[in-house]
A and B are shown apart, each in its own frame.
Chain A
């Protein structure tokens, strides 16, 4: 299982801030997880689409699409940050 977190606009659009999902065989990076979520359709396809400005983290460090993902990892998807 991996933990997937969503923040800000994404959390609202998807209607959830966190979930546990089983990592299917063959899914081994961030892009793979994103594709898995987009395949759910509806808001998932809309919010996580490739043309949306999206950032991601693996185990609380900013990561790009090819970052490896393994069982037990904490992944997060969120919009570009706007703090300060």
Chain B
């Protein structure tokens, strides 16, 4: 597995090629890209700054991937998450999962993203016309993570 926290942008095509190159048994690649929007809670967002907890962030994402690998047949998984200041339309996060078949790849990719949203230590601060504000955690993200308890 690969987990990278970086300020630089990422290239999803290059990352998928890299992940696929190693294994001709791969039949499915599922990916997710999270992107900065120009609006949140009805307010215009000019930019967003992401803070993280170096060390714990990487460990918690590795733990999430390990859990995914325990539940689905996954060959490999990669998570890249950007930190620092990002503008609308910029990419924030990338998840790629490779497996033999799509079911495992889709499920593991969604699980990793849902768990990352509620368990990996990142915090967003957004700049709006009325000033900068910390983004509040959303109950809907807890519900999304929680539903995985009932499955599998």
Is the pair B51, A8 in contact by a Cβ cutoff of 8 Å? yes
Q: In residues 1-52 of chain A, which contact B (Cβ within 8 Å)?
A: 5, 7-9, 11
- Judged by a CB distance under 8 angstroms, whether B96 is at the interface is no
Tell me how many residues of B have a C-beta within 8 Å of chain A. Answer: 28
Q: What per-residue 1/0 map shows which CB atoms of B84-99 lie under 8 Å from chain A?
A: 0000000011000000
Tell me how many residues of A have a C-beta within 8 Å of chain B. Answer: 18
Q: Which of A9, A11, A53, A83 contacts B121 (CB 8 A)?
A: A83
Is the pair A53, B53 in contact by a Cβ cutoff of 8 Å? no
Using CB atoms, name the residue of chain A closest to B118: A81
Is the pair A83, B122 in contact by a Cβ cutoff of 8 Å? yes
Q: Residues of A with Cβ closer than 8 Å to B?
A: 5, 7-9, 11, 53, 57, 60-62, 76, 78-84
